[in-house]
Structure 1
């Protein structure tokens, strides 16, 4: 039995109340596209989806294995993700 996930998506707080998109707009739809196996559309919807998955995957793996330079790796992955999110936001808002 498959549940229609689209019915349970959360609305964007900033778009609903203030009328403009946030850095995370498109993330939920991108995750749904990934679940459905549409990898290219997921990237087009939210380009930093794959680096975010890598980031959170590394954090979860670090809980189990405790890597030597984990703080450095996590901070660099966070910087990369934030940079991609800001670039994506700027591109979306200017077009």
Structure 2
């Protein structure tokens, strides 16, 4: 077990059902990204980079442009949400549940 694994928050959905939730793998993916391992990060949870980019763009834009950024933020959330759903569907239908 990697030292950082002890600090990960366990998934309550996986704990109760034994099935990965749509966000399972995110923490390990971020850790791999912080270590500079882009390939491992992507393999662990493909939506990590779009999620980080979405929040990195949406939060400052919302803060600085107030209500004038609603359309951009909705598009970013829709794009990222779609990637999350596609990834989750792929995991469910291809038996990649851990």
Q: TM-score range by the shorter chain?
A: 0.7 to 0.9
Deviation at 1:68, TM superposition (A): 7.4
C-alpha distance in 2 between matches for 1:69 and 1:63: 8
Matches within 5 A, 1:42-57: 42-57=41-56
Matches within 5 A, 1:1-95: 4-66=3-65, 69-95=68-94
After TM superposition, the score normalised by the length of structure 2 is: 0.84
Structure 1's unaligned 5+ residue stretches are none
C-alpha distance in 1 between matches for 2:19 and 2:90: 14
Deviation at 1:63, TM superposition (A): 4.7
Instruction: Check whether the contact 2:29–2:48 (CA below 8 A) recurs between aligned residues.
Output: yes
C-alpha distance in 1 between matches for 2:75 and 2:46: 18
Matched positions, count: 92
Runs of 4+ in 1 over 2 A off after TM superposition: none
After TM superposition, the score normalised by the length of structure 1 is: 0.86
| CA RMSD in angstroms, aligned pairs only | 1.7
